[in-house]
Amino acid sequence: MLLPLSGAGTVRRITPTEELVRVPGVVGAVLKIGVGDSVAARRPSDNASGYVRVVGASIEEVERRMREVLGLLSVELGAPSAEPSTAASPGTTPASPTAPPFQRQETTACDASTPCSPSSPCC
């Protein structure tokens, strides 16, 4: 599940991954930003602070756990700094304020008759 990031500014505080993985069913968490990073507002689909992997015995259980993670997550932003930070906190990757534009990738239609090889896009 993507973790939301609303707004722009300098990250003052963010819930650490250690807290997020304490939620039952959270089997992994990655934060893409850290304290001191400057983040820019982007399209909602590109504006994530990170993600978590959540498992459960049913869809309802997974949804309940996801809501628990969202309730626990806190990202506090301050005023934007003049220069975006390129350094990240240990274990994080900085947000890229100038992410490259989306590039369409062509796909190849594959079927059972397509031979499998290391260079084949079908394998």
- Over residues 32-61, the pLDDT tens digits come to 999 999 998 777 667 889 999 999 999 999
Query: What does the block give as tokens for 62?
Result: 């997974």
Query: So what's the architecture of 2-78 in CATH?
Result: 2-Layer Sandwich (3.30)
Rounded to a whole number of angstroms, the distance between the first and last alpha carbons of the chain is: 27
pLDDT confidence of residue 30: 95
Spell out the domain ranges in the chain: 2-78
Instruction: Give the C-alpha distances (Å, rounded to integers) separating 17 from 28, 29, 59, 71, 91.
Output: 8, 6, 23, 14, 9
Q: Which residues, 6+ apart, have CB-to-CB distance to 82 below 8 Å?
A: none
Placement of tokens 């260079």 in the chain: 119
pLDDT in tens, 57-109: 999 999 999 999 999 999 999 987 665 444 444 444 444 343 333 333 333 34
Cβ atoms of 46 and 99 within 8 Å: the answer is yes
